[in-house]
Structure 1
Amino acid sequence: MTRSPGVFAPRWRLTSIGIAAAISLFAFEGIAVATAMPAAVRALHGLAFFGWPFSTFLVMNLVGLGVAGQWCDRAGPRRPLLTGIAVFTAGLLLAGTAGHMAVFVAGRGAQGLGVGLASIAVFQLVALAYPAELRPRALAIISAAYVLPALVGPVVAGTVTTHAGWRWVFLGLVPLVLGGGLTLRPALRTVRPPGRETVGRSRTPLFALLAGAGVVALQSGGGAVAAGRTAPAVLLSAAGLAALWAGLRALLPPGTARLRRGVPAVVALRGLLAGAFYAVESVVPLTLVTLHGLGTVASGLPLLAGALGWWAGAQAQGRLTAPGRAALLRCGLAALACCFAGVAVTCLPGVPAWPVYPLWIAGGLGMGVCVPTTGVLVLDQSAADETGGNASALQISDVTAAGLGTGAAGVLVGATAAGPGFGAGMASLGLLAAAVCAAAAAGAARTTPVRGRAVAA
């Protein structure tokens, strides 16, 4: 039996390196900005607008994801990817040279737009540049590319901010991003555009903007609830929910809410697992500090362990040929459900904190298996001129659910942090996340292709 070549074989080496470099730098910027943000806000006298750079990035990221889906299906990945890298680089330059908070916010918006454009183009590049049997390993590169920034991002960004200034957290990435883009040019010259004449709806950017505004409004409404402003919170949340529903209805495949078999079910399950994971992850360090009295380093170690587990899971799914992809997704979701249920137990009185460490490794393994597997399932069911649109729906589901999950967790923390119900609140969050993943595991069979719908490379 002949061993198949790997993704770093000479034919695909530059492509694989370029993908890893681009995604790693996007991920590093996302992690580093949280470290540099306090210094940037103080320097620009923008404390009152502290949340705007994050909200603007989220909204424009969704716009980029929506635009890129149609663009890639019409023209292929080359122009969207190069444009995304150029816009992201311009955002880095704007943020790094900003003399006013408004310019800094605009830079963050450009970064979000660029990441959205480039992310979908990279996904389509995987579909066009690699044979079907190598796609799981190629998508594992994307998942693994998030691990190194998670490990070193806060330390590197903190060091740069302290010794060189916060501006160099952004400006220092410019030559690295441009260099990573150059390594992808040979592969981009060889892939042919799908050649689709008409693609989707022309108002996709508007719907993406509407969905992003809905997420931000819901997060703001939750913050108003936590602050005790009930009436404004209800109005803002209602408006946000309406905007989100209208946007997602146009952006996601028909039948997503009903888990219709095929791509809609994959898109729905990706959102469910992302929302559950990021909601719980956002409160793990706080829970360990508040309930168990751990220090800053010890409370952050589960996230490091989870990142390593994510890497291991991504590598494992790239090498597995059995069980089938739907069964593999079910296993990953089951691991997530067990992880969240176990974390919920550690929030109860008298239960020690140490189980969180192995539990979060299991959660990372589950995400490492599930995220690339959902990507493979989408590629297997997408024609060449559908990969951009379907990848866009998958990423929009992920980003939207992650934002909603972390926002909901923040509201719960705000509502319980000042009283004795904090532990019970965090336990309830863990159990709810476990139930969501268990329900998603039960629906994993619906992610298999509709008969006759699987598409060969």
Structure 2
Amino acid sequence: MTTPDPRDTPVAVPEAAKSAPGGISVEPDETVLSRSYRALSIGIVSVVLLIAFEATAVGTAMPVAARELDGVSLYAFAFSGFFTTSLFAMVLSGQWSDRRGPLAPLTTGIASFAAGLLLAGTAQAMWLFILGRAVQGLGGGLVIVALYVVVGRAYPERLRPAIMAAFAASWVVPSIVGPLASGAVTEHIGWRWVFLGIPVLVVFPLALALPQIRRRAAGPVDGPDGPDGAA
């Protein structure tokens, strides 16, 4: 009687290790920084980092901006406008992503966020500054939810905790260094550059992430949570 060769015994491979959403093959030892995921991971985490930096750094520049624009009495609206439109945009982005996929709300959100930054950074009156903050909130809400959809569709289940942990870290780090950096920029360059500097920085991560998002996560959601379910 011969002993079976272990090499002839089929090995069960977990489904998550076989392929990611969209039929993309996934090796069992891949990480979020492996070659096939590196550009996407760096791109989307950098976008979250920039949004988080803006959200935490603006508080340092706001008093100077309000005084210069003679809008101290409207100070609170610069914050409430941002958060109100961002909450609305989060709901909108979830519905939009289900119907059309995350690419459209993501690109629209980035464009809106950049437009709001430019509007706030060039404002000559407080009401324009508040409008810019509201547009920023709209863009930020669209982007954050769309990125969560991207994670759910572009990464296999075993890699999602790692990328979500990176998102969380992207909010923690700016909360520590953002006010200090914003204060230095406000003091030495001017408060407007706290807003005007971000649109330039977001170009590089978008160039990394968008081709991968289009390849891995574009298109509407299938099944009961798809377009009909969203309606």
Q: 1:7 aligns with which of 32, 51, 54?
A: 32
Q: Determine which of 52, 56, 78 is the counterpart of 1:27.
A: 52
Unaligned runs of 5+ in 2: 1-26
Q: Report the counterpart of residue 198 of structure 1 in structure 2.
A: 228
**Counterpart AA for 2:33:** F
1:94-133 matched pairs, under 5 angstroms: 94-133=119-158
TM-score normalised by length of structure 2: 0.83
* Partner Cα separation in structure 2 for residue 180 and residue 64 of structure 1: 22
1:184-208: CA deviations, max 9, x gaps?
112122124225333535xxxxxxx
**% same residue:** 44
Q: Which of 53, 64, 85 is matched with 1:39 structurally?
A: 64
Counterpart CA distance in 1 for 2:140 and 2:128 is 18
- Equivalent residues in 2 for 1:187-226 (5 A)? 187-190=212-215, 191-193=217-219, 194=221, 196-201=226-231
Other-structure match for 2:105: 80
Q: Distance in 2 between matches of 1:177 and 1:168?
A: 14
Q: Aligned partners of 1:36 and 1:163: how far apart in 2?
A: 12
CA distance in 1, matches of 2:230, 2:200: 35
For the aligned residue pairs, the C-alpha RMSD in angstroms reads: 1.6
Query: More relative contact order in 1 or in 2 (CA 8 Å, sep 6+)?
Result: 2
| In structure 2, distance between residues paired with 1:119 and 1:50 | 25
Partner of 1:313: none
Task: Give the whole-Å Cα distance in 2 for the aligned partners of 1:27 and 1:55.
Answer: 17
* Structure 1 residues 43-100: Cα deviation after superposition (integer angstroms, max 9, x where no partner): 1000101100100011100111011010000111111101100000000000000000
The answer to whether the 8 Å contact 2:98/2:230 transfers is no
Q: Report how many aligned residue pairs link the two structures.
A: 201
TM-superposed CA distance for 1:130, in Å, is 0.5
The structural deviation recorded for 1:3 is 6.1
Asked if 2 retains the 8 angstrom alpha-carbon contact of 1:36 and 1:161, the reply is yes
CA drift of 1:180 comes to 2.1
AA matched with 2:89: G
Residue identity in the other structure for 1:157: S
Aligned to 1:149: 174
8 Å CA contact 2:90–2:145 kept in 1: the answer is yes
Could you tell me whether the CA contact under 8 Å between 2:112 and 2:136 is conserved in 1?
A: yes
Q: Give SS of 2:228's match.
A: coil
- Is the Cα–Cα contact under 8 Å of residues 86 and 140 in structure 2 kept in the other structure? yes
The residue correspondences of 1:11-410 to structure 2 (distance < 5 A) are 11-190=36-215, 191-193=217-219, 194=221, 196-201=226-231
Query: Deviations 1:253-294 (Å, cap 9, x if unpaired)?
Result: xxxxxxxxxxxxxxxxxxxxxxxxxxxxxxxxxxxxxxxxxx
CA offsets 1:89-139 (integer angstroms, 9 cap, x no match): 000000000000010000000110001000011000001110111111111
Q: Equivalents in 2 of 1:151, 1:121: separation in Å?
A: 26
| Unaligned runs of at least 5 residues, structure 1 | 202-457
C-alpha separation in 1, matches of 2:73 and 2:192: 20
